[in-house]
Amino acid sequence: MIVKIRGVIYASAKEAAAALGVSKTTVYSAIDRGCADTIGIGRGNGKRGHKGGKPKPVTICGHVFATQVEAADFLGYKRSGMSRRISAGGSGARENMERRYMARKAEEEQNARQD
């Protein structure tokens, strides 16, 4: 199957994958989604539905974080994990975030006293 990506023609998906540093599956998936020109240019560039826009603040135990990324970094979560916790909602996820927040605050206060 001949593959054309950003004006370059490759003899096969395997050849395109090797040249762009991705897997053959990635090439086929991008072609199926209609976004072959995004192959090999960075993570997430082929995603649809990203709205961009202004990030929403996250409030945990009365503390307002400007973004989910800021909250995830403070709590020690992976950024994708933070997004899942917020999306899932529920009292269990909320309680876990609050418990983690309280532990991190206590840790910060203890470190401040030691300095």
Domain ranges of the chain: 3-38, 58-114
Regarding pTM above 0.75, the answer is no
Predicted local confidence at residue 52, as pLDDT: 58
Q: How far apart are CA 62 and CA 41, in angstroms?
A: 39
Predicted local confidence at residue 28, as pLDDT: 92
- pLDDT tens per residue across span 10-19: 999 999 999 9
**Mean pLDDT to the nearest integer, 18-41:** 88
Which residues, 6 or more positions from 2, have their beta carbon under 8 angstroms from its beta carbon?
9, 10, 11, 12
Q: How confident is the model at residue 51 (pLDDT cuts 50, 70, 90)?
A: low
Q: How far apart are CA 86 and CA 93, in angstroms?
A: 8
**Mean pLDDT to the nearest integer, 88-104:** 86
